[in-house]
Amino acid sequence: MRYVADQNSTIDEAANIAGWEIGGHNATETEHSYGDETYSRFIFSIQLKRPMLSSFVKSVLPIIVITTISLLTFFISPQNFGQRIGLGVTTLMSATAFHLSLLSGIPPIGYLTFADRMMISVYIIFLYNLSASVYIMKLVDAKKTEEATKFNSKAMKALAVLIIALIIIQMVI
């Protein structure tokens, strides 16, 4: 027996997959060898994509909110470094939990998805934030409060450059 793909095959209009939009489809046939015997194989593939708005609300918006909360540390006085570090660490843990939740919604694959690249950028921002907070803490401990305030101001400006650079890198990759 040999399968022959009917190019007029379609998908039932009532078919749906929760959380996904069904795009194009393709019907093909191929032959596959199992030892000495060759068999006909029918392959019907369906392209799936996520709706843009719900994807943004479920995948991007929460991490934007978590990261924004983390970046509020730059508006906390350098003398309150305990609160700064506490806020940075707790939001990092929230981002990590969100990342794990995001990964559980897709099958394991061997390449970086948009979500993976986005989360790498977020982790870079968190590393920058916590590093700046630790340095500010060291300055305050050394009784260099004015220098800590100046560094905080410079770090905020450098943060804007870092975020723009990460956005550009995301667009290029």
Query: pLDDT tens digit string along 94-112?
Result: 999 999 998 887 778 888 8
Same domain, 109 and 142: yes
Q: Quick check: 19 and 50 in contact, CB under 8 A?
A: yes
Q: Report DSSP state, residue 106.
A: S
Burial status of residue 115 (CB atoms within 10 A of its CB: 0-12, 13-18, 19 or more): middle
Do both 104 and 65 map to the same domain?
Answer: yes
Provide the pLDDT for residue 120.
94
Do 64 and 43 lie in a common domain? no
Residues 111 and 94 in one domain: yes
At which of 49, 71, 87 does a domain end? 49
Whether the CB-CB separation of 92 and 126 falls below 8 Å is answered with yes
How many structural domains comprise the chain? 2
Phi first, then psi: what are they for 143, rounded to 5°?
60, 35
Domain carrying residue 165: 52-172
The pTM of the full predicted model, rounded to 2 decimals, is 0.75
pLDDT of residue 166: 94
> Burial level of 107, CB count in 10 A (0-12/13-18/19+)?
exposed
* Residues of the chain falling short of pLDDT 70: none
Cβ pair 49, 23 in contact under 8 A: yes
* CA dihedral angle for residue 76, residue 82, residue 85, residue 86, rounded to 10 degrees: -100
